[in-house]
Structure 1
Amino acid sequence: MEGGFGECFDFSHPKLLKEGILADMSAECTTISLPFTEQQLRECLRQCIYRFRYHKALCKNNVRYGLDGNPCGQVTIEQKALDKAMVHRLRHNKN
C-alpha cells in the first residue's frame, strides 16, 4: 500500500483514512491500470486499519486523510469513544 498510495499509507506512522477510501482506491487503480481487485484492496485496508497503531492514532487525532495525503474529513466523537474502548480492551487482554 505504501508503494502505490504512499501519501496516505505509512505503517510506522499511520494516518487515519477517510471514510469511503476503498472506492477511491479502486477508482485510482482503474485510472492508472494497477492490477488490484477490490477484494485485494479490501484485504490490504484490513491489514492497515486493524492494527493497534492505527487505533492509537484514532484515539489521538481528529483528521482523516484521502489518497493524496491531504485532510479529508474528521473523526466523530462516537468513533473516538468506540476506539478508546477498543484500545483499552486490547491493552487489557495483552497482559
Structure 2
Amino acid sequence: MSTDHDSGTDVSSTDPTDPHAAAATAVSTSDLPPAPPTTPCTVVWSRGRPYVLESGAGRPRWMGVDQHGRPQALTGEELRRRGWSYRRSS
C-alpha cells in the first residue's frame, strides 16, 4: 500500500482545525499599508510625487500630478494600495 508521502505528491491539509494550514492562509492586517490620513490639506508622498487631500462637495480625493504633469485624483484606497508616506523618498 502506498501513501501520499511515499508517492512524492504534496498534499496540503484542508482541515480547518489544523494550525499549520490556518497559519499558511491567514493574512495579517499588519501586512497591509496604513490608511492615509483624513485631515484636509494634508500632503503625502507616493511614488515620488506629492498628493494633497481636497475635501469639497462630494468625496474627499487626493490630488497630484502624473508623470506628464496632468492632474491626477486618487481615492484613499488607491493611495493605500500604491503606498504613501509623509516624507519624500530619496
TM-score by length of 2: 0.20
TM-score by length of 1: 0.19
Greater strand proportion: 2
Q: Based on CA coordinates, which of the two structures has the bigger radius of gyration?
A: 2
Greater helix proportion: 1
